[in-house]
Structure 1
Amino acid sequence: MHLRRFFAVLKARNLEFWRDKSALAWNLIFPVLLVVGFAVMFGNSNKAEFKLGVLQQAATIDMQSQPFLQTRYLEFVPYADLGQALKKLQHHQLDLLVDFSGKRYWLNDNSAKGYLAEKLLLQQLPDASKETVSGRQIRYVDWALPGILGMNMMFSCLFGVGYVLVRYRKNSVLKRLQATPLTALEFVSAQVLSRLLIVLLIATLIYVGCDLMFDFVMLGSYTDLLVVTVLGAMAMISLGLLIASRSRSEELTGGLLNMASWPMMILSGVWFSLEGAPKVLQWLADLLPLTHLVAAARAIMTDGATLADLHYPLSVLSVMAVLFLSLSAWLFRWQGDQR
């Protein structure tokens, strides 16, 4: 790789992006508007709905085993790990945790919803023993922030790389570059690094700006969050390169990019947790890079997880990045498939 040629392409791509004022403004303003909108719509933490954890080893709950489990308008989620369930209760992500076999329950003494859920439980189990935990509330906007930032990164990575590559190919820019000493590796590497730097800078600006307004919960390490962000961005940039590696059609590429982005936006835990969802949906979500990016970032921010705790999502993101990048380099064509 010739570094001079590499940095020339990197500089040209960065200047092209920053000079496109409308695209730059959209990348900065849209996620901020989403965060503000969710903060307003879901700012009230005392909604009349309850999410209760059930401590048990089985993966599913037998709703007929206890009369309380048949109470309407309550959501029950099974947990085999007491520590994990207590951490969610501590951060108000559960309203109550119940162990029916041991006739005991745990309550966050700072939760208004937990107080009401306790009253409902004691009507059915008046002799259950009580234990309490405490911790700062994780608001919905705190929970949703990693998903919103991840979604913005996804669109920037996929469309910012895919459309640009197809436009270059359609306008014969790649054909002219092919006539220079620039290699495909230098060109693709410059595109990856350029988009990675842009994504990281925009995500940082959005996070800092929104944090000044809402004071987000951050229990983990910013260094760990940076590592997760880089791996997630690399995986999605590589996916965008793979999709656009051969096509000359903007319509086809746009359809393929939408086909990749919409399942991620729906199934990756951006807007709602997939806990308790059918196993087939959880399995499909596990195939998407945004799922692992959002889960790892959310675990760091709201649970205080470290990189050692996140070996599975980090491993999956690393494998995806290497696999997608290798396939895109193998399939890459300067002029694309001929019509």
Structure 2
Amino acid sequence: MNIKRFYAVFKARNIEFFRDRSSLGWNLIFPVLLLIGFSVIFSGDGRPAYKVGIINSVTEGKAQAESAQDSFKNIRFIDYINYDTVELANKKLSHHTIDLVIDVSTSQYWINNESSKSYLVEKIFNLPLKDYTRLETVGKKIRYIDWVLPGILGMNMMFSCLFGVGYVIVRYRKNAVLKRLKATPLSAFEFVSAQLVSRLFIVLFISTVVYTGCNFLFDFLMLGSYFDLIVIGMLGAFCLISLGLLVASRSKSEELIGGLLNLTSWPMMMLSGVWFSLEGAPSALKTVADFLPLTHLVAGARQIITEGATLGDISYHITSLLVMSAIFLSLGAYFFSWNTER
């Protein structure tokens, strides 16, 4: 690694991006427009279905939970979500994410006194819960805009990482810029590293500006540490940039790279919990989502913002991002070509 050559490519790429005012403006304005739109559309209590948490911490409890759910199945518009611990379920209840918690193994149930939905669900379950002990919890409701914020920022980072890296490298290759660079002392590792660090700097800069600016408008909820949020953001961006480098490692066609990047980004946008929670979703869908880097970026950031989680609490997401980054970067470096024709 030659630092001078690395810095020259890093500086040139940053200057190229910031001089493109249309691209810079779009990266700043697009997430702001999304946040404003969602704050207007989802400003009220709009979800028609209720959610009830069922505790199944032990084997006998699971059997009882299934039996209890069967006894409630004639009540329509209720989604049942299984939780392993009462603490986790009550945290969701205190944040108004779910509306009632039932522990069938101890014949207890919890409501949130500050939630109108919790009150209504208790009335709906009045007869099925007549032999249960009533307990209470409290907590401030999390606005939809606070919940969706990590998803929108993560989605914006995803598009910036994938398309910002993929299209640039393919354009360089198509215009023979890479072929000329190959004739210089610049190595493939130095070039790829400079592109990665440059895009990482740009993505974090744009995300910080957007978050700071919108925070003055919406006063976002923040229960965790900003340092932890930056760490998970850096790891997520690094992983997505590595994926972009892998997708663009050999292609020379801008049409092909556009299709490949769309094929890569759309499943993540739909299945990574950007717009809606995957709680209660089929296990097969959750398994697929678990292999998507955006899932771990959004889930980790959302836990920090809305639940006050620490880096230790989201160690699974951090480990997943590190493993994926190593795989994507290794494959991208292995398949990278300066002047491939296809």
Percent identity of the aligned residues?
A: 58
- The yes-or-no answer on 1:42 pairing with 2:10 is no
Residue 121 of structure 1 deviates from its aligned partner by 1.5
Aligned to 1:200: 204
2-structure distance, mates of 1:190, 1:305: 32
Which runs of 5 or more residues in structure 2 are unaligned? none
**CA offsets, 1:272-320, max 9 Å, x none?**
1111111111111111100011111111111111111111110010011
In structure 1, the residue matched to 2:54 is 54
Alignment coverage as a number of residue pairs: 338
Q: CA deviation at 1:123?
A: 3.6
Tell me the residue number matched to 1:91: 95
After TM superposition, the score normalised by the length of structure 2 is 0.95
State whether residues 64 and 105 of structure 2, in contact with CA within 8 Å, keep that contact through their aligned partners in structure 1. no
Deviation at residue 223 of structure 1 after TM alignment: 0.6
* SS of aligned partner of 1:72: coil
Structure 1 counterpart SS, 2:125: helix
Counterpart residue type for residue 55 of structure 1: I
The 1:186/1:60 distance shift into structure 2, 3 A limit, reads farther
Taking structure 1 as reference, are residues 254 and 63 closer, same or farther at Cα in structure 2, changes over 3 Å only? farther
Report what 1:277 is aligned to: 281
Aligned pairs for 1:1-339 within 5 A = 1-45=1-45, 47-57=47-57, 58=62, 62=66, 65-336=69-340, 338=341
Deviation larger for 23-32 or 48-57: 48-57
Q: Distance in 2 between matches of 1:188 and 1:65?
A: 54
The alpha-carbon distance between structure 1 residues 9 and 277, as it changes in their structure 2 partners (threshold 3 A), is: same
Which amino acid counterpart does residue 109 of structure 1 have in structure 2? N
1:79–1:92: structure 2 CA closer, same or farther, 3 Å change rule?
A: same
Q: 1:60 to 1:251 in 2, by over 3 A?
A: farther
CA displacement at 1:59 relative to structure 2: 9.7
**1:5·1:186 contact (CA, 8 Å) conserved in 2?**
yes
Q: Could you state the TM-score of these two structures normalised by the residue count of structure 1? A: 0.96
- Alpha carbon RMSD of aligned pairs, Å? 1.7
Q: Deviations over 1:252-281 (max 9, x none)?
A: 111111111000001111111111111111
Structure 1 CA distance for aligned equivalents of residues 129 and 288 of structure 2:
38
In the alignment, the residues of structure 2 paired with residue 329 and residue 59 of structure 1 have an alpha-carbon distance, to the nearest angstrom, of 50
Q: 1:55 to 1:201 in 2, by over 3 A?
A: same
**TM-aligned CA deviation for residue 326 of structure 1:** 1.4
Q: Secondary structure at the match of 1:246?
A: coil
The whole-number CA distance in structure 1 between the counterparts of 2:293 and 2:63 is: 25
Cα offsets for 1:197-240 (capped at 9, x unmatched): 00001111111122111111111111111110010000000000
Which deviates more from structure 2 when the two are superposed, residues 99-108 or residues 45-54? 45-54
Unaligned residue ranges in structure 1 (runs of 5+): none
The answer as to whether partners of 2:101 and 2:109 remain within 8 angstroms in 1 is yes
- State the secondary structure of the residue aligned to 2:250: coil
What amino acid is the match of 1:26?
A: W
Contact between 1:46 and 1:112, CA under 8 Å: does it hold in 2?
A: no
Q: Distance in 2 between matches of 1:2 and 1:65?
A: 64
Q: Which amino acid aligns with 2:197?
A: L
Change in CA separation of 1:98 and 1:46 when aligned onto 2, cut-off 3 Å: farther
* Alpha-carbon separation, structure 1, partners of 2:256 and 2:47: 44
1:46–1:177 Cα change, 3 Å? closer
Residue 330 of structure 1 deviates from its aligned partner by 1.3
